Structures are given as structure tokens and as C-alpha cells.
Structure 1
Amino acid sequence: MAPDKLRPGGESAIELWETCDPDNWAEALNSYDDSCEFTQKSLKNSQLKLSKKSFLDDDKWKEESLPKLIVSKKVITLPQLERLMVWKLRRGQFRPTLMGLIRRNSPNNVEDVTNKAITLVLESTKNVTEAFKVLEGLHGVGPATASLILSVIQPSEVPFMSDEAMDASIGLPRSYTASRCKKFRVAMTAKAKELGDEWNVSLVEKALFTAAVLGRQELK
């Protein structure tokens, strides 16, 4: 296999990671909506065909509606899991086999497994590692997708393992394993603390993603 390479814009995310200037980080975070607009406009046909809803609609749903639903119901349904996967396959690299794997799960099993994971992390953030293992029992859910689910439930504790944030915070090779996940969480938690009380790991991830997307735009 060829060695991993930074994707276009990756250098901009690394540059942001290496600074502690609060103005630089705030500027990146405040431009997150712009990065979503650019992402929507750059989607390939295969990504567009995943859903009739736009990436912008899905991002707003993930940020505003889904967390409330999870807290009230204590489960994620199969349609919700499918929609999260659509968001992931549009925001990052398109891996077409993942949606098929997600759809192999039964609705009841998705609800049973996610209820167990949600209960664990809501009881204590010390249970995050166990919750990862529980979620990875679902078809199509590896560490990256598990991190996405848990970031919706506990955004202050679990960062989404996006390629942009992973590359900037812990570097290449780009692998999604339990050990890399732990290293990523430690690095992102340390950066959030370094930036101040108003920051958490999910905000750090968004800022790094934005820096990479805006960096790609500058290269065009």
C-alpha cells in the first residue's frame, strides 16, 4: 500500500494546530458555516445521490435536533444512523460500502446497541471506551463512526475522528484503531484545555476541519 499523504488543505489544519493564538482558532471556528457551504458545493454526484436532503440540512439536524432526540429517547434509530452516515460520507472521504453495511443492521438491534452505549456515556464519561466497543458491534460502525455517534451524545468529551483533525493532531499514518482513537482524544482534550474554558474537543475538531476546507479553497 502507498503511504498516506496529507490531503489538500491539510497543511492549513496543521498550521492551526501548531498555534495557540485564540484569534486564529476563533476565526477558524467562526467560519465553520462557510466550510459547510464549500463542502456542499464540492460534493460529487455519488455523494449527492445518498440523500435528497442537503449536507447543510443534515449538519444542522446533527447539531441541533439529533442531540435532543437522543437525550429524550436514549436510542438512535436505524434511519437516524443512516442519516449520520450520509453526513459522514459527505463531510469526509466517500466510502460507498459503508452505507450498505449500515443497512444490514436490524432496527431493533440498532436501538438496543445504541441504548446501551448512550446509557454508558450518560452515566459517566469514564465509560467512553466501553461505549466505543459496544457501538462497534454494529455492522458498518468502526472507531470513526462510533466517535461520530458519541460526539453527538457527549460533544465536550468525544471528538469526531475526522481525517482533517486526525492528521493535524496526531499525524500520519491515517489509521482508525482503538489505540489511535485514544491518542486522538488525549491530544484533542489537551488542545481544548490549552485554548480555554470556552473550548471543547468538538469545537477544536470543527476549527481544524474548517481550516483544512478553507485551505483547499485557497489552492483552487
Structure 2
Amino acid sequence: MELKVSDVNQWKVALSAYDSRIQSLNKPDLASLDHFYTKQLPSIIHKRNPNPYITTPELSNLMKWKLTRGKWRPRLLDFVSSIDEETVKAASEKAFKALPEVSKAVSELTVLKGVGPATASAVLAAYAPDVAPFMSDEAMVAALGNSKDYTLKQYLLFVDKLQDKAKELSAEGDVFTPSDVERALWSSAIGAKVEESSNTDTKSSKKKRKR
């Protein structure tokens, strides 16, 4: 699914398939980590009024989710898990206050060791899914054509694309956030990989039968 596709139903189908795509990866703990990230963490953050923030254990779980749903880089998990609680709290508090200025919000979080723009985007998306989508490889490829450049500049281009697509899809009557767009793109990409793998397995088994 490319961003130029404007059929709202295709986007709704891709988004509704998100949970089953998570399950299809058969990765230990991914379903529970995803439930924590998408369902529990947002309400936990928003209950902390008047100054929302996240804690070190929450950042650690968020990193586990990010690495399990994407590429596993254990050193990043070690880095964030060892950050002082007050440091994480202060940085996230400043970042959430900076929104909707995404650039400033990301900069407030990337002072933390092991937190780059992609991890910062996951923190911001948990708090404000209507503003800042998660910078996943799959959505980056769909929106910008590549996923190699994890810079703030690239993320801001990504945010613009997904915010525009969310507005376009929402104009049809259904409410889409930039984070909904990211999940739909991720779901579509994973679905395509699963289908491709299934086709390859089918061809392989047919060849074996012919021998």
C-alpha cells in the first residue's frame, strides 16, 4: 500500500488487520508488549496531570516493544534501562510540553542515552498519536521510499506526510490519526511479506513434489 492510495476502505482494512499481523510474526511477548504500548501506556501518561511524563521502566518496555516489532538491538535496551528515573521524567515532561512543535519535542528526548529520533517518536506517539506517529521502517519506506535515514530532518518529513494522509482520510468521514496511518502502513507491509513467504513456500513444496 502506497501513500498515494486514497481508497479509505483499503486503509481501514489494513488498520483493522494490525492485531492479527502482530500475532502473525510469532515473536515472544510482542502481543503483550503491543497491548502495553498501544492500550495501557497512553492512559497511564495522560493520568499524570498537570505534567505528563514517562518513567524509566515504561521507557524500557517501550524500547522492548520497538525492538521486538522491528529490528532487535539489545544495546539500546541496556542504555535506556540504566537511565536515572528523574532524568527520564524531566526529559519526557519537557518533550510533551513542547508539542505540537515536533522538532523541539524530539530534541528534548534525544538527550537521553540510547534514544534517537525513532525511539523519541515512539514516546511522542504514545502521548499524542494525533500529532506524532512512530517512525517505523515499514512506514518510512512507504512514505519516503527508504528507512535508512534516522535523522530528525527525515522524521519531520515523515510527520508531514502522515499528518497530510490522516487529514485526507479523515475528510471521508472516518477519523484517522497519523499513528493510525503508520499502523495501517506497517500492517500492509507485514501482510505483503507474509503473503510473499507463503507463496514462496507453496512454490518450493510444488518443486519438491515434481522431483
Q: TM-score, normalised by structure 2?
A: 0.86
TM-aligned CA deviation for residue 81 of structure 1: 0.4
Name the amino acid aligned to 1:115.
E
> Which is further off, 210-219 or 108-117?
108-117
Is 1:16–1:24's contact at 8 Å kept on the other side of the alignment? no
Alignment partner of 1:87 is 2:62 = no
Q: Which residue number in structure 2 is paired with residue 64 of structure 1?
A: 39
- AA aligned to 2:21 is S
Q: Is 1:164 matched up with 2:138?
A: yes
Q: Distance in 2 between matches of 1:118 and 1:25?
A: 28
Report how far residue 180 of structure 1 moved: 0.3
Following the alignment from structure 2 to structure 1, what is the Cα–Cα distance between the partners of residues 132 and 82?
26
Please, which of 51, 54, 78 is the counterpart of residue 100 of structure 1?
78
Aligned-pair CA distance for 1:38: 1.1
Unaligned runs of 5+ in 2: 198-211
Moved over 6 A (4+): none
Unaligned runs of 5+ in 1: 1-14, 49-53
Are 1:207 and 2:181 an aligned pair? no
Percent identity of paired positions between Structure 1 and Structure 2: 35
Once the two structures are TM-superposed, the CA of residue 153 in structure 1 deviates from its matched residue by 0.7
1:142-172 deviation digits (Å, cap 9, x = unpaired):
0000000000111011010000000100112
Q: In the alignment, what sits opposite 1:180?
A: 154
Match of 2:91 among 113, 117, 123: 113
Corresponding position: 1:24 with 2:24: no
**TM-score normalised by the chain length of structure 1:** 0.83
CA root-mean-square deviation: 1.3
Inter-partner Cα distance in structure 1 for 2:46 and 2:146? 35
- Do 1:188 and 1:201's aligned partners in 2 also have CA atoms closer than 8 Å? yes
Which fold has the larger relative contact order, with Cα–Cα distance below 8 Å and residues 6 or more apart in sequence?
A: 1
User: How many correspondences in the alignment?
Assistant: 191
Letter in 1 for 2:22: C
